C-alpha cells in the first residue's frame, strides 16, 4: 500500500525494522529536549504529515521498551490518525514512572500501525440476541 507523506523532520521516514513488524517507529522532531516529570504529559511533534486512503487509520501506540523500562507510554493508546486528517502527527506521551524522563530530538517515542477499519451503520432494535455471557461485565469471566 502506498501512503503519501510529508517529512518536515530531519529524521528518516518511519520504516519497518523487520519483515514481520506491524509498526514503524515514530521519532521526536523537537528543537529542544522535553523533560517529562512523573505523571507529566506532553504532545511531542514528529514532523510527519500523512494522507491515508479512506477505510484506513494510523494507530499511534506505545513502544514496549519505553513503557517497560522507563514508564513512558502513549496516553490515549492507541491514538488514531483519521484518513481525513492532514495536520502533523503528534504523540501524547505520559510519564508513569517516579523519575523525570528527557525526550531528545530523534528519539524513537512511539510506533505507528496502519490498520483497515469498517464503518458501522446502526440498526435500532428493541432487544439483542441471548448469549451465555449475557450482561456479565468487567471481570465476569474470572481471572483464571
Read off the pLDDT of each residue in 73-80 and give the average, rounded to a whole number. Answer: 97
Count of CB atoms situated within 10 Å of the CB of 108: 16
- Mean pLDDT for the stretch of residues 98-112: 98
What is the pLDDT at residue 60?
98
pLDDT recorded at residue 137:
79
Mean pLDDT, residues 79-97 taken together: 98
Q: Which CATH superfamily is domain 4-116 in?
A: Deoxyuridine triphosphatase (dUTPase) (2.70.40.10)
pLDDT in tens, 53-70: 999 999 999 999 999 999
Q: What is the pTM of this model?
A: 0.90
Contact residues for 6 (Cβ-Cβ < 8 A; gap 6+): 48, 49, 50
Cell numbers that stand for 37 in this block:
516529570
Helices (H) then strands (E): counts for the chain = 1, 11
Local structure of residue 87 (DSSP, 8 states): S
Is the pLDDT confidence value at 2 over 90?
yes
Q: Tell me which of 142 and 122 has the higher pLDDT.
A: 122
Share above pLDDT 70 across residues of the chain, in percent, rounded to a whole number = 100
Confidence of residue 114 (pLDDT cuts 50, 70, 90): very high
Take residue 86 and report the three cell numbers written for it.
492532514
Whether residue 16 has pLDDT greater than 80? yes
Amino acid at each position: 500500500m502506498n501512503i503519501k507523506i510529508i517529512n518536515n523532520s530531519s529524521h528518516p521516514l518511519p520504516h519497518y525494522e523487520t519483515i514481520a513488524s506491524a509498526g514503524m517507529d515514530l521519532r521526536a522532531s523537537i528543537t529542544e529536549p522535553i523533560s517529562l516529570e512523573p505523571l507529566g504529559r506532553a504532545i511531542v511533534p514528529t514532523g510527519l504529515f500523512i494522507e491515508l486512503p479512506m477505510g484506513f487509520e494510523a494507530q499511534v501506540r506505545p513502544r514496549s521498551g519505553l513503557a517497560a523500562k522507563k514508564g513512558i507510554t502513549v496516553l490515549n493508546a492507541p491514538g488514531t490518525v483519521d484518513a481525513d486528517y492532514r495536520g502533523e502527527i503528534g504523540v501524547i506521551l505520559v510519564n508513569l514512572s517516579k523519575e523525570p524522563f528527557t525526550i531528545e530530538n530523534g528519539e524513537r517515542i512511539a510506533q505507528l500501525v496502519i490498520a483497515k477499519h469498517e464503518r458501522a451503520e446502526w440498526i435500532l432494535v428493541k432487544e439483542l440476541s441471548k448469549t451465555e455471557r449475557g450482561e456479565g461485565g468487567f471481570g465476569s469471566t474470572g481471572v483464571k
